[in-house]
């Protein structure tokens, strides 16, 4: 079965640079979530989109922005990167139109800021 696709899988950036992370949800899933997971920590919710509209916002810095496009893929844009932004970034998708609350995660993007 098709899963959530994330790209790139690894990204190395320097401080103050920008990064763009991409997420392709499971086909027919209309909802995308972004989570950040620091070393040894549980995933923390950043932001979600339902039917291309921002749905909920968590602890996402103002330096970060995201959107969901007409084909339901999503991009997380991160600017003025800081050392503390180094983490695993996961995208998850679900099918809200089916009333499902199950979220399926992608393999993640490992961001390293040097």
Partner 1 sequence: QKEVEQDPGPLSVPEGAIVSLNCTYSNSAFQYFMWYRQYSRKGPELLMYTYSSGNKEDGRFTAQVDKSSKYISLFIRDSQPSDSATYLCAMSANLPGTASKLTFGTGTRLQVTL
Contacting residues toward partner 1, per CB under 8 A: 4, 31, 33, 35, 41-45, 48-50, 55-56, 58, 88, 90, 92, 94, 96, 101-108, 110
Q: How far is the CB of 16 from partner 1 (least distance, A)?
A: 26
Helix (H, G, I), strand (E, B) or coil at 33: strand
Q: How far is the CB of 37 from partner 1 (least distance, A)?
A: 9
Q: How far is the CB of 14 from partner 1 (least distance, A)?
A: 22
What's the number of CA atoms in the CB half-sphere (13 Å) around residue 29? 27
Q: How far is the CB of 104 from partner 1 (least distance, A)?
A: 6
Closer by beta carbon to partner 1, 5 or else 17: 5
Strands (E), the chain: 5-7, 10-13, 19-24, 31-37, 44-50, 53-57, 64-68, 74-78, 87-94, 104-105, 109-113
Closer by beta carbon to partner 1, 19 or else 89: 89
How remote is the C-alpha of 70 from its chain's centroid? 17
User: Checking DSSP bridges between strand 64-68 and strand 74-78, what pairing results, if any?
Assistant: antiparallel
Closer by beta carbon to partner 1, 65 or else 105: 105
């Amino acid at each position: 079965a098709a899963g959530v696709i994330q790209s790139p899988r690894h990204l190395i950036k320097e401080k103050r640079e920008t990064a763009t992370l991409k997420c392709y949800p499971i086909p027919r899933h209309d909802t995308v979530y972004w989570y950040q997971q620091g070393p040894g920590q549980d995933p923390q919710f950043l932001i979600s989109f339902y039917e291309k509209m921002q749905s909920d916002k968590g602890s996402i810095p103002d330096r970060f922005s995201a959107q969901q496009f007409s084909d339901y893929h999503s991009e997380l844009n991160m600017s003025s990167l800081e050392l503390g932004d180094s983490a695993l970034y996961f995208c998850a998708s679900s099918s809200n139109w089916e009333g499902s609350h199950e979220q399926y995660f992608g393999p993640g993007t490992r961001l390293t800021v040097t």
